[in-house]
Amino acid sequence: MYVYDQYDHQIIRDRVAQFRGQTDRYLTGELSEDEFLPLRLQNGLYVQRLAPMLRVNVPYGMLNSTQLRKLAHIARHYDKGYCHISTRQNIQFNWPELAEVPNILAELAEVEMHATQSSGNCIRNTTSDQFAGIAPDEHIDPRPYCEIIRQWSTLHPEFAFLPRKFKIAVTGASDDRAAVQVHDIGLQMVSNDAGETGFRVLVGGGLGRTPVIGSLIKDFLPQEHLLSYLDAILRVYNLNGRRDNKYKARIKILVRAMGAETFAAKVEDEWQHLKEGYTQLTTEEIDRAKSFFTEPSYQSIDDNQADADLSSLRGEHKAFDKWLNRNVRTHRKAGYAAVTLSLKPTGVAPGDITDRQLEEIAKLADQYSFGEARTTHEQNIVLGDVRKEDLFQVWQAAKDAGFATPNIGTLTDMICCPGGDFCSLANAKSIPIAEAIQRRFDDMDYLYDLGDIDLNISGCMNACGHHHIGHIGILGVDKKGSEFYQVQLGGSAGSDASLGKVLGPSFGQEEMADVIAKLLNVFVENRQGDEQFIDTYRRVGLAPFKERAYAKVN
């Protein structure tokens, strides 16, 4: 994992001091509400329905056990004993006191964390694959480049007041787990024929009111030009993006209006002025970044023996077997596995985690996974490097701590924004919908039989719950002051990214579990062999689902 040096510490300390001053000026009335707004947002502070919400960056999802313990302390000391993993791998506190936020930021700085640009019209936290560095299908570890981007984007003087927020995601694997096609900039790491490392650059993807799949604007960007090319994209956007209407201000609208080719040409032109400058990455800098993401000291383990041992445990413990099937993934190192701790047990808001659970994860990370953990955009936590022989103990500990629900990838492992219970933007609540669905579908065997289904819920069209790219997407809407839910089908976040189609008129809250049941029945009836939901949908189309969902009851 990246480790701060004196420069990183200095920059973040200066940032905390600056925000402390700004908060003081706001509290004494020297700074107006309007002026304080972008300043607090750029330090992660929203004002929500009931209290401020502080969003802390987890750069590309990596956390160490010291940071986990600090987050637990903050949850306990400054909040109500829990926090929330967001759909962009960040941590959100829902109840901090505004006046205490500078103190929280100072505490975070001690453990090399910050909330800089976790909100506001600026470059946000860069996200990545939660299995970076350990996935068997990865060609290049994206994390060193994510860290290079983190540093470049942090307090970038030219791009702090963009037309709108700006999100970058990077992946280095065949299977896209970072949803790069629905980001303002999506970077796919590739090697060219000469064996050189570079990026395929996608631009103008995004969710929100106008969901768009990103356009490819560069086939191969050599790695040393990463930052100058990003500078060029951002400059073209900063100067040309719309500022008259916040719903048309994202880069996707600009790319669409100009046409991807024209946009690409404009970026290319700007880049020609920048590419040979000092921002060109040096081999030393790339090597320095890589040096923080080397393999941990893995043991040499006989994989067959490890699997054989697991196999006999599977036979003795059916629940352990289920957990292995759903929550444990293949690792590229023999004898190791990646464990996903489920933050989706029934009855808990998806992605919520308590101070004690954070400490438990810190302990498990120290004991079994080289002291590191990862947040995922599906709002779970991963222990990346667990020896197969330790899995049984990890499972038992995870069970005791409440995050061994064996539902990863299933219907009940849903993505869900905080919704109307917390968020002032929301049109409708989303947590009660998630809970109703979890309660209705509590038969694990049925869930396993259904296979992988992404169900994503957003409480409004800002789409924090990524409803457009759920196989089943649910969107909360406001109809004459009442909360209703629109259903979309056929979205996908992966390498085969697609945007869902609206099923039809929206449903009331109490109908939702029934509607989902009908949709699943249509899937089961039409399914061929072991087909996944998304494949059946793509084969049979929307019509049979629509017909069933709106059929009149006799």
CB of 90 to other proteins, least distance (A): 20
Residue type, 480: K
User: Closer CB to other proteins, residue 24 or residue 547?
Assistant: 24
CA angle 252/253/258 to nearest 5° reads: 100
CB of 270 or CB of 435, closer to other proteins: 270
Nearer to other proteins, 293 or 545 (CB): 293
Amino acid at 534: I
CB of 194 to other proteins, least distance (A): 25
Smaller CB distance to other proteins: residue 15 or 388?
15
What residue type is assigned to position 432 of the chain?
P
CB of 372 to other proteins, least distance (A): 24
CA 549, chain centre distance (Å): 31
Structure tokens given for 6: 């004196």
When the beta carbons of 132 and 234 are compared against other proteins, the nearer one is: 234
Nearer CB in complex with other proteins: 65/228:
228
- Element holding 4 (H helix, E strand): none
Judged by beta carbon, residue 135 or residue 221, the one nearer other proteins is 221
Cβ proximity to other proteins: between 106 and 301 the closer is 106
Helix residue ranges, H only, 111-225? 143-153
State how far the Cα of 328 lies from the Cα of 340, in Å rounded to an integer.
6
Which residue number, 6 or 297, has a Cβ lying nearer to other proteins?
Answer: 6
DSSP string, 464-503: TT-GGGSSEEEEEEEETTEEEEEEEE--B-STT-B--EE-
Q: For the beta carbon of residue 178, count every other beta carbon within 10 angstroms.
A: 31
Matching residue, tokens 């406001």: 478
Residues 6 or more apart whose Cβ sits within 8 Å of residue 239: none
Tokens linked to 60 = 């590309």
Q: At which residue do the structure tokens 């993993």 appear?
A: 85
Residue 515 contacts residue 549 (beta carbons within 8 Å): yes
The token pair at 271 is: 């880049």
Nearer Cβ to other proteins, position 285 or 452?
285
Pick 14 or 400: Cβ nearer other proteins: 14
8 Å CB contact between 171 and 128:
yes
In angstroms, what is the minimal distance from the CB of 246 to other proteins? 10
Alpha carbon distance 512, 455 (integer Å): 13
Nearest-approach distance from CB 215 to other proteins, in angstroms? 22
| HSE-CB for 69 with a 13 A CA cutoff | 12
- 8 A C-beta contact, residue 512 and residue 436: yes
Q: Which residues are bridge partners to 185 per DSSP?
A: 168, 203
Q: How far is the CB of 280 from other proteins (least distance, A)?
A: 9
Nearer to other proteins, 17 or 542 (CB): 17
Kindly state the smallest distance separating residue 281's Cβ from other proteins, in Å.
7
21, 235, 255, 527 from 267: Cα distances, Å: 38, 8, 11, 46
Q: How many helices (H) and strands (E) does the chain have?
A: 18, 21
Based on C-alpha coordinates, what's the Rg of the chain?
23
Q: Which is nearer to other proteins, 13 or 200 (CB)?
A: 13
Using CA atoms, how far apart are residues 282 and 38, in angstroms rounded to an integer? 34
Q: How far is the CB of 152 from other proteins (least distance, A)?
A: 6
E-only strand ranges, 204-330:
215-222, 328-330
Applying CB under 8 A, the residues found at the interface with other proteins are 5, 7, 10-11, 14-15, 17-18, 22, 31, 35, 38-39, 121, 148, 151-152, 154-162, 227, 235, 238-239, 243, 273, 277-279, 281-282, 284-285, 288
DSSP E strand boundaries for 65-196: 82-85, 91-93, 127-128, 168-171, 185-191
Whole-angstrom Cα distance, residue 450 to residue 535?
12
Say how many Å lie between the first and final Cα of the chain, rounded: 61
